């Protein structure tokens, strides 16, 4: 078996169904000098499934800063394969810094694409896919979560985010409050035996899961905002008053400006009047 050229190989692994591991991924994992892993137990099981034994080294949130320089140094003479526990590395994990440092050191960087839960959920949701924004995990604390949602309320794209079962209902309720009651989908256990994609409005989905938190890996997909329509001053005042209950004047003006197309500076001045 010919060795791989030295460098960094970013290898996507299955998000559930082991049959989704590509032949190219098998080939790279079989020939890599070392595999950088989140959890050696998870990746060890995958390597056993394909009949491969390779050295593994931990690379995750808790040790990345310390071990990254050593991994980059090894790339001058070794092929380092980077994997996550499931899906495509770098998507909602610290791998991008390893890629950045590998490139800065002049090493070869290769991607071996494959499964990604965010993209797979988009295909199941039945919502627009021509423009989408991936948000990763929203903050767990309510105030920080509301602020994060307000930042993207006017983005004219489908939103995709990850969430855990125990936090799902609260997240959906916060999205409904911050975005309006948009169409959405909750995709769960993608490619696994109990895969499902439940659709409805954000408030309907929040009610569904409030007393029955689901298990498994979860992706939430939210439809983009409706087309903006010309707004009268009365419409703007109503929107500003609502926004001011949860946002400072500057952010409230920005949110309403995005939603209505009205001038942000004029809306800020009006927001200050309403607060007074």
pLDDT at site 232: 59
The burial of 169, by beta-carbon neighbours within 10 Å (0-12 exposed, 13-18 middle, 19 or more buried), is given as buried
Is residue 229 over pLDDT 70? no
What letters, b where the CB count within 10 A reaches 16 and e where it falls short, cover 208-246? bbeeeebeebbbbbbbbbeeeeebeeeebbebbeebbeb
The CA distance from 73 to 67, in Å, is 10
Q: Is pLDDT above 60 for 230? A: no
CA distance 61 to 93: 7
Residues 67, 82: Cα–Cα separation, whole Å: 13
CA dist 171 and 143 (Å) reads 12
Name which residue leads in pLDDT, 217 or 9.
9
Residue 61, number of CB atoms within 10 A of its CB: 9
CATH architecture of 118-222: 2-Layer Sandwich (3.30)
Residues 6+ apart with CB under 8 A from 198: 185, 186, 188, 205, 208
Query: Percent of the chain beyond pLDDT 90?
Result: 76
Tokens of 269: 């001045």
Mean per-residue pLDDT for 200-208?
A: 94
Residue closest to 140 by CA, chosen among 162, 120, 114, 123: 162
The stretch 106-125 carries a mean pLDDT of 97
Does residue 102 surpass a pLDDT of 60? yes
pLDDT for position 3: 84
In angstroms, the CA 181 to CA 203 distance is 6
Fold of 7-115: Cobalt-precorrin-4 Transmethylase; domain 1 (3.40.1010)
pLDDT digits (tens, 9 = 90+) for 8-54: 999 999 999 999 999 999 999 999 999 999 999 999 999 999 999 99
């Amino acid at each position: 078996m010919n060795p791989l050229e030295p460098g960094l190989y970013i290898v996507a692994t299955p998000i559930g169904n082991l049959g989704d591991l590509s032949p190219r991924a098998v080939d790279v994992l079989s020939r890599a000098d070392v595999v950088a892993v989140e959890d050696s137990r998870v990746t060890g099981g995958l390597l056993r499934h394909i009949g491969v034994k390779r050295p593994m080294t931990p690379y995750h949130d808790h040790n990345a800063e310390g071990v990254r320089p050593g991994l980059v140094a090894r790339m001058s003479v070794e092929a380092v394969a980077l994997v996550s526990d499931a899906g495509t590395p770098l998507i909602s994990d610290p791998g991008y810094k390893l890629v950045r440092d590998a490139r800065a050191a002049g090493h070869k960087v290769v991607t071996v694409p494959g499964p990604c839960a965010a993209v797979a959920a988009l295909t199941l949701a039945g919502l627009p896919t021509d423009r989408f924004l991936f948000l990763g995990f929203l903050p767990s604390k309510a105030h920080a979560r509301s602020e994060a949602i307000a930042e993207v309320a006017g983005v004219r794209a489908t939103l995709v985010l990850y969430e855990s079962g125990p936090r799902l209902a609260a997240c959906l309720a916060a999205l409904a409050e911050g975005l309006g009651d948009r169409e959405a989908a909750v995709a769960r256990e993608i490619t696994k035996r109990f895969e499902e994609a439940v659709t409805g409005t954000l408030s309907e989905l929040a009610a569904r899961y409030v007393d029955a938190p689901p298990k498994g890996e979860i992706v939430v997909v939210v439809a983009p905002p409706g087309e903006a329509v010309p707004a009268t001053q009365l419409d703007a005042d109503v929107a500003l008053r609502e926004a001011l209950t949860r946002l400072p004047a500057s952010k409230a003006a920005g949110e309403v400006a995005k939603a209505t197309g009205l001038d942000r500076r004029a809306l800020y001045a009006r927001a200050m009047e309403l607060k007074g």
